[in-house]
Amino acid sequence: MEPTQGPRRRDGQGPDGRRDPARGRADPRDVRAWATHPVYVSPRGGPVRMPALPSRSKSEGSVPLENLTALANPVRHEANNLLAAISGTVDILLRTAATDRDHARASRLREATDRLEALLKAYLSLAHPPSAEDGIDGAQMLQLMRPLLVLTIGPGRVVEIEAEPGLPRLSASPAMLQAGILRLAREAAAAAPAGASLRVTLTRVQDGVALAVTSNPEGAGPAPLLLHPSGG
Amino acid sequence: MEPTQGPRRRDGQGPDGRRDPARGRADPRDVRAWATHPVYVSPRGGPVRMPALPSRSKSEGSVPLENLTALANPVRHEANNLLAAISGTVDILLRTAATDRDHARASRLREATDRLEALLKAYLSLAHPPSAEDGIDGAQMLQLMRPLLVLTIGPGRVVEIEAEPGLPRLSASPAMLQAGILRLAREAAAAAPAGASLRVTLTRVQDGVALAVTSNPEGAGPAPLLLHPSGG
């Protein structure tokens, strides 16, 4: 961390006791300044004035979104700890259930916990997509994204995921592939008749692998994406 | 939805059957084009070529982040449904526990579920901050943010939140207030001795309400933020 990014001492001096030249550049009228940058501290050490009722600007959204990304990993870690605590207890309940009713309750807990875990894993992966050093396993990526696909196509619709066996790993950017999958799902869902299920397919084509989202049984959908094999 | 944003027919025509002039502008070489915009469809209706191994650019991150924001509400809704299913069953387990051991297990489930719920509520509120039409209840906002404050200051440290009673509602932008709280916590944590707890305080000052994060017992921390009363 640079010294100019560190906490301010209330005596108006930098952490090292010298007067900090960078402080003069901070503008307390800038709506974003106090959220991201060291802010002006009055020589008397009084509080920093926060701009009231800031006007909405397009770039204002970037600061909260930075926190959404920065906290995704700590949140995932903490959520995994809590889900593991729940799962461990549910395992005991499943093993020790004395009656059918006890077992049914434990099974309900099991199912809801597993679905919650898959949902959070999928959502938080948008902030930190899986690594793709050796190329992406397309089928695995679709399974990871399944809970978000279900949410994207709307309630009451079924998502079918079909990946041809033995597909090559893909050279795409994981983040962009995730975004592409969601865009195709949104477009297909918007055009599909109410109640239609959606098929998400990965199939081998001449130049690589085609990712398509089509309505079932109509077979209509946006143009498929062509994905390239990694290392090709 | 504009027609140019809708799904493409594979015959290379727009949804209304006319040739779509906007399509000519899409550039398949643009790493972001296929993730957000209608992409070029060849006259033969073949798949759209996805750019391989795109170079990282600063703006590339915006597309996944848009999905992080767009899916926050559906994810919250679905997570709440699943947490409600878990909570309902845990309530039954607590009521019907026949032994101390059964009760201890149900209590563990209760605590982990409550903490998970608070964590997700706090995190997802970054994407869609609470409304502030009548001004922000600062104490409530700090409680909402508590799980993220705990993650921000790091393991093994305690967060104490203290809000003076009877504070006025605040006129700040909720998103910017959230970002400001997290920035203060990060700065205070970076400067605090290992093992120090952090105090997050809202106190009345001459011109409004001061938000401060200080280490305990040292009392050191970044310059507090001055928040204005709403309607003032």
Helix/strand/coil (H, E, C) string of chain A? Answer: CCHHHCCCCCCCCCCCCCCCHHHHHCCCCCCCHHHHCCCCCCCCCCCEECCCCCCCCHHHHHHHHHHHHHCHHHHHHHHHHHHHHHHHHHHHHHHHCCCHHHHHHHHHHHHHHHHHHHHHHHHHHHHCCCCCCCCECHHHHHHHHHHHHHHHHCCCCCEEEEECCCCCCECCCHHHHHHHHHHHHHHHHHHCCCCCEEEEEEEEECCEEEEEEEEECCCCCCCCEEECECCC
User: pLDDT tens digits, residue range A122-140?
Assistant: 999 999 999 888 899 999 9
Q: Which run of H or of E encompasses B81?
A: helix B72-96
A48 strand-pairing partners: B225
Instruction: Decide if B17 touches A, using CB distance below 8 A.
Output: no
Per-residue confidence band for B54, with pLDDT thresholds at 50, 70 and 90: very low
**Whole-number pLDDT of residue A57:** 43
Q: Do A67 and B179 touch (CB under 8 A)?
A: yes
Residues of B whose CB is below 8 A from A64: 126-127, 129, 175-176, 178-179
Contacts of B14 in chain A (CB under 8 A): none
CA distance linking residue A4 with residue A198, whole number of Å: 52
Which of B89, B116, B226 is facing A49, going by the closest CB pair? B226
Segments making up each domain of chain A, as ranges: 68-127, 138-227
Closest alpha carbon within chain A to B232: A52
Beta carbons of B109 and A109 less than 8 Å apart: yes
Tokens of B132: 């502030």
Share of chain A above pLDDT 90, in %: 59
Q: Does B113 touch chain A (CB under 8 A)?
A: yes
Determine the Cα–Cα distance for residues A190 and A157; give it in Å rounded to an integer. 12
Quick check: ipTM above 0.95? no
Average pLDDT, chain B: 79
Cβ B95 vs Cβ B131: under 8 Å: no
Chosen from B105, B148, B176 to mutate, greatest number of chain A CBs within 10 A: B176
Residue among A31, A47, A182 minimizing CB distance to B225: A47
CA angle B164, A36, B199 (to 5 degrees): 30
Examine the pLDDT at A194 and tell me if it is beyond 60: yes
Q: Which of residues 156-195 of B touch A (CB under 8 A)?
A: 171-173, 175-176, 178-180, 182-183, 187-188, 190-191
Interface touch A49/B207, C-beta < 8 Å: yes
Residue type, A144: L
Task: List Cβ neighbours of A224 (8 Å cut-off, separation of 6 or more).
Answer: A184, A210, A211, A212, B47, B48
Task: Quote the minimal CA–CA distance from A165 to chain B in Å.
Answer: 20
What is the CATH T-level fold of the domain A138-227, as seen in this structure? Answer: Heat Shock Protein 90 (3.30.565)
| Contact between chains at B176 and A35 (C-beta distance less than 8 A) | yes
Residue A139 near chain B (CB below 8 Å): no
What's the pLDDT at A132? 84
Q: What is the mean pLDDT of residues B65-94?
A: 95
Mutate to test the interface with A, among B20, B23, B50, B151 (most CBs of A within 10 A): B50
Confidence of residue A207 (pLDDT cuts 50, 70, 90): confident
Query: With an 8 Å Cβ cutoff, is A15 touching chain B?
Result: yes
Distance CA A34, CA B182 (A): 11
Is B64 close to A129, i.e. CB distance below 8 A? yes
Q: DSSP 3-state assignment of B92?
A: helix
Task: Kindly state whether A94 is in contact with chain B, defined as any CB-CB distance less than 8 angstroms.
Answer: no
Contact B231, B171 (CB under 8 A): yes
A42 has a pLDDT exceeding 70: no
**A69 burial class (0-12, 13-18, 19+ CB within 10 angstroms)?**
middle
Asked if B49 and A226 come within 8 Å (Cβ–Cβ), the reply is: yes
Contacts for B163 with CB less than 8 Å, ≥ 6 apart: B138, B139, B142, B201, B202
